[in-house]
Amino acid sequence: MKSEVSADSKKAKAAKLKKSEQNFEADWKNPMRFPYLEKIVLNIGVGTGGEELERASQVLEDLTKQKPVRRLAKKSVKEWGIRQGGPIGVMVTVRGEAAIRLLKRLLIVYNNRILRRSFDDYGNFSFGIDEHISIPGVEYDSTIGIWGLNMSGRIVRKGMRVRTRRKKQTKIKKDHYVKREETQYFLKKFFKARIVRRLEIEY
């Protein structure tokens, strides 16, 4: 009896998901509603400056062919030896076609899988990579070592610039943000991503 209920529940969820995807497709026929990848942000937290920070910066520069910027501590943490205003990490923002190519490389690390909890209701998604050498095209360099990094991406629609422009800033209506389910469907369709509850080892 339980198996029958479970099967019916799965069918109902699948039907609901398919209907949502059909609604997304219909909505995307409007050019102003069609979503796109706005940017990819890579970040490495180091906790200190000096040579460690330079090596982390080199990792991001090799990955993106762009010059990373330093992240400064907003407050002092005595236990960790962090001083306010001191460099504690590096980050780089990638946009356009370069962001699309980079995201495809990063997704390969987990066989195109992204955790379901990695999304919010504003078009943002993120995941971490334990070892940067697991990214396709990256080779181990003993002078740099192995670094972990965080990746954050954002899916938006046209018109979002009015929220941050210098003149005549206006608020964005809530329904213009790309919701969680729509972001997931966008990544499934255009990046062949698989949304999973947990990352099990695949051979």
Please report the pLDDT score of residue 148 as a whole number. Answer: 94
Domain boundaries, the chain: 1-30, 32-196
Residue with tokens 């026929």: 29
Was domain 32-196 assigned CATH 3.40.50.300? no
Residue with tokens 């706005």: 38
- 12-50, pLDDT tens digit by residue? 666 666 778 899 999 999 999 999 999 999 999 887 778
- Please state, in angstroms and as integers, the Cα–Cα distance from residue 33 to each residue in 28, 69, 108, 129, following that order: 5, 32, 28, 31
The chain-wide mean pLDDT, for the chain, equals 87
Whether 147 contacts 128, CB under 8 Å = no
pLDDT band at 88 (very low <50, low <70, confident <90, very high): confident
Is the model's pLDDT at 136 over the cut of 90?
Answer: yes
- Spatial CA neighbour of 172 closest among 180, 163, 164: 163
**pTM of the shown model:** 0.84
